[in-house]
Amino acid sequence: MERNNSIPIRNIYYMLSYAYQTLNLSEYKQIGTENFENVKELYAKILAIGIPVLIRGGLSKDYISVEETSNVIKGKIDINSTINKNALVIKKVAVVYDEFSVNILLNQIIKATLVYLSRSNKISQKMRRFFYGLLSYFAEVSDVELNLKLWKNLRYNRQNIRYHFIVDVCRYLYEHLLFDESSTSHMMKEVQEEQRLWSLYEKFIYAFFKRETKYKVSHPRIQWSVDDEFTDALPIMQTDLVLQKDKKTLIVDAKFYSENMVARFEGGTAKQKSSNLYQMFTYVNNWKKERGETVAGMLLYAKTIALNQPNHIYHIKGNQILVVSLDLQQDFKGIKENLIAYANQFFCIDL
């Protein structure tokens, strides 16, 4: 694969800093001055700081359903369960009630991560002991087997949003260690790494423009411009990023691939990925313009080490589509300058 996955650890730290504003808190300031040999060390250090912060703030609680046999009636009596368990013989009944508890999925994931890390030989013995020491704070939390499906069942709200960053880092680190230890093919590991970095790349791009520019920044869904209001089975058009200013709108889609351009045969001329162009052309054409509004699209690729990189401006049926590539291996100052310059190609203003 042509992608150079060795994005400097410092840049991954900066991307995380933008994607998760939590990383800007005082507790994490020391991380920005440290040198890490690999990204696993960075993630482990973040958890070593972040999990104690969660503990000090109090573990999040929520109501969970509890089923038990008891001689005290509380909640609802489960007649069928009472009969099946012969509970009446010992003068008890099966009851179901809600309990305000720390034994929720978010805490279960963190506890399972701590157990996993405390046993992993991929991190230092000192760090393993530290993570093991944190387990006592999760004594009332049930043990679950750590697997990637757990993260799919998470739901965040105002009460537990402080968990978002740490639980995401738990996943990043677990995936790194899991694939290091597995017999999964090298190609499959690269695919998993690409997907993980793509997710972070999207979050970073959005947060960067939100913090560093004066544009109106959003990521709305675009509705299909149908003639009869029938939209059943049409795919969702979810934007990564939309920048707006002075009757100008730029729809941005972040792309993180092993190959940014393709050739039909070895040695052939590299071409744009047609599916990406079709996607952006569709976004632009279905955007509901206001009177006097100008709309354009941008495909923002993460640069690979291939010789040919996307760097084009197309004008198609009155629509401007910019295709650019961002070098994530350069100094972060250069990344910031490039992103501002790419947007300015369309807006033609100094921020």
The tens digit of pLDDT for each residue in 224-275 reads 999 998 999 999 999 999 999 999 999 999 999 878 888 777 767 888 899 9
**pLDDT at residue number 1:** 37
Ranges of residues in the chain with a pLDDT under 70 are 1-6, 66, 68-97, 179-193, 267, 349-351
Among residues 320, 321, 324, which one has the least CA distance to residue 339? 324
Amino acid 217 reads V
**pLDDT at residue number 217:** 98
**pLDDT at residue number 74:** 61
| Structural contact between residues 256 and 201, judged by C-beta atoms closer than 8 angstroms | yes
Write the pLDDT tens digit of every residue in 268-296: 788 889 999 999 999 999 999 999 999 99
Rounded to 5°, angle at Cα 195 from 194 and 199: 115
**pLDDT at residue number 136:** 97
268 to each of 2, 39, 139, 258, 263, how far by Cα in Å?
A: 16, 36, 61, 18, 5
**pLDDT at residue number 350:** 42
Q: Which stretches of 145-247 are assigned E, i.e. beta strand?
A: 216-218, 221-222, 237-238, 241-245
**pLDDT at residue number 50:** 95
**pLDDT at residue number 3:** 45
CA atoms within 13 A on the CB side of 151: 17
